[in-house]
Amino acid sequence: MKLEEHEKAYAEHFLHIDRTIEEGLEENQRNIGYNVSQGSIELLAIYLHKLNFLQGSGDQFDHRIFRSKNLIEKKVPAKFPAREEILKLLQFIESERIALCYGSRKSHERVKKVVNSFQKLRKIINENLKNASKR
């Protein structure tokens, strides 16, 4: 997808996350699991596009990549700022997506931890983009 399409998709997921938080985390854990996971993938794509690691419109990530270290190494560029921290958060979010979307009801604290991980990912990426634009 093109950068603009990733940005539109990210904005949509972000809006759904905000609405879902307002409506209640526990009651909407499946929506949180899905939108945090997909929103995180879109955010990573935006980040890598802006750093020129993704070029074409065919570059996309499937959320399932982040279940496997081997797939991560094959599909994700080898070097970019804050790579390890970002990948660790994406792996956590993906593992929780499965539990939230397909499992029984989880505790408020567990769902909140997923949202907090998404917020941390956003902060890391935004700070790195800000620093990159200063150079």
- pLDDT in tens for each of the 135 residues of the chain? 888 999 999 999 999 999 999 999 989 999 999 999 999 999 999 999 999 887 765 556 778 888 878 888 877 877 899 999 999 999 999 999 999 999 899 999 999 999 999 999 999 999 998 887 766
Alpha helices in 1-135 (DSSP H): 3-23, 29-50, 69-75, 83-102, 108-134
End-to-end distance of the chain based on CA atoms, in angstroms? 27
97 vs 31: CA distance, rounded Å: 10
User: What's the number of domains the chain is made of?
Assistant: 1
Nearest to 31 by CA among 4, 12, 46, 6: 12
State which H helix or E strand residue 54 sits in.
Answer: none
Enclosing domain of residue 72: 3-134
